[in-house]
Amino acid sequence: SRTREMLHRLLLVLCALCGCSALVPGVRAPTAPHASAACRSVSPVMGNNAPDGPFTPIVLAAKVVLGEKLLNKIRGKAISYHAQYITEFCEDYGVAREVRGALVKKAKVTGGRLGFLS
């Protein structure tokens, strides 16, 4: 489908941009600080309240190129696929339902910190 093709292209662009920064001398990928117990309880934030992260410029550029409506549709599909893969993984390895829910929430928080929810 067209949405899946657009998602695939967007992911290729993201991979290409991330790979390019790794090849530039003196440019290091940002490292995440170790999460303390207080940080783990932070709930995910979306929309205009989402924090800026390393992928925020790419997301904002995609918003201009694709339009906010299409970007939100693609982002929703990507989140849906990711949650589905987490569920399949948990089912394959017998992970408890509570842990699965925590993994999905952690993915959402991490995505927000990286700037995917900007």
Distance CA 54, CA 21 (A): 11
pLDDT band for 5, please (50, 70, 90 cuts): confident
pLDDT (mean) for 75-87 = 94
Distance CA 85, CA 91 (A): 10
pLDDT band for 7, please (50, 70, 90 cuts): low
CA dihedral 25, 28, 29, 33 (to 10 degrees): 170
CA dihedral 31, 37, 42, 43 (to 10 degrees): 110
Integer angstrom CA distances of residue 106 from 13, 41, 69: 24, 10, 25
Distance CA 24, CA 11 (A): 21
SS3 22: helix
pLDDT in tens, 15-68: 555 544 443 344 444 444 444 444 455 555 555 577 889 999 999 999 999 999
Look over the chain and give the mean of its residue pLDDT values, rounded to a whole number.
Answer: 76
**CA 41 to centroid of chain Cα atoms:** 19
